[in-house]
Amino acid sequence: MRKKISIFSFFSGIGILDLAFEKNGYTIVFVNEYDNLFMESYQYAREQMNRHTPIYGYHNDSAERYAKRRGKRNLINLVAREHEKGNLVGFIGGPPCPDFSVAGKNAGANGENGRLTKVYFDIICRCRPDFFLFENVKGLVKTEKHRAFYNEMMMKVQANDYVMAEKVLNALEYGVPQFRERVFMVGIHKGLYQNEPKTLIFEWDKHSLFDTEDVLTRAWPKEREFMVNSPYAFPAKGILKKLTVEYWFNKNDVENHPNGKDIFQVKRGREKIETIAEGDTSGKSFKRLHRWRYSPTAAYGHNEVHLHPYKKRRISVAEAMAVQSLPKEFVVLPTLSLSRKFKMIGNGVPYLMAAAIAKTLKEILEDIREDNL
């Protein structure tokens, strides 16, 4: 293997995807995020975890504008600099996705956010990293008009000498206590191989913990009447404890977490929320989690509100991070508004899901190295 695997991160959010890669042997060297508050929280989280500052810095600008910059520190030159050091270079990113989401704007590739997916693939083809990762909502491949655009992007990277693999994955498979489907695409440049392959064989389930179909067909506990602080022992029979909300709340010690007191107060309908049973997630807005089940998708826009299983309140930011399977030490900038904090957490790639993909990709890169010796 070359000296390092250097990562250029785009649409970085608060750094959940980046942290997953970094904790699995990659080095973050460049970070790009347009939203200044997301960027501030990204930097704050890294500082709290004593993570290094990327050598090429934090770039609070649009990926499109930065990609067009000239001079010694443009992207092509930075990639070349890493190659001169003998390092592998990878681009990772998940462009904003509401334009491809059924629950969002559904504006597609021509939408304000949707067009950024093309920008990302343009940057990849222009800069030619050794590999790339792309992540987005499943609507990009499940909706006919969006799928045509997605296929166009696949042909684009293939025409630029990448072998690639793609798949819709569910976070449940990787130990995340949340039903969340996302599409991932991984590409590796043919120039890395001694013998060019026609396709990339990527074992998406190599580091998975569970089978989605098995998880969904298990006899999970049913709804039960909501009672504040009601006792309810773990119903061991047939239940996967590591996929339950309560397991993760305890694992991350959410009550004592720095973001444990970050909670929206319910100002209207307080009586109504008391009538919502533990585990009743059928409503369009207020969904009460079940302590011994996994959560619905942790997307806190579109008026979706998750209620605590056995407390008369909404879940906290720390609890939302637990649902995203984030490490206990991850924190969100305390000075931000609550709506921003929840948006930042909900926008991220579930941590354990990202970590599993990062491991598999690294093992493929190591295999390529062995073949080239």
Question: To which residue do tokens 């990009």 refer?
Answer: 140
Contacts of 107 (CB under 8 A, 6+ apart): 99, 113, 114
Report the C-alpha gap between 236 and 231 in whole angstroms.
Answer: 15
Contacts of 313 (CB under 8 A, 6+ apart): 263, 265, 266, 307
DSSP assignment of 171-197: GGGGT-SB--EEEEEEEEEGGG-SS--
Pair of tokens at residue 177? 């206590």
Pair of tokens at residue 217? 């067909």
**Which residue in the list 75, 97, 109, 358 is annotated as catalytic?**
97
Which residues on neighbouring strands pair with residue 162, listed in sequence order? 189
Active site residue 97: yes
Q: Among 372, 340, 367, 331, which residue's Cα sits nearest to residue 47?
A: 331
Pair of tokens at residue 300? 């806190």
Q: Tell me how long the chain is.
A: 373
- Which sequence positions are flagged as catalytic? 97
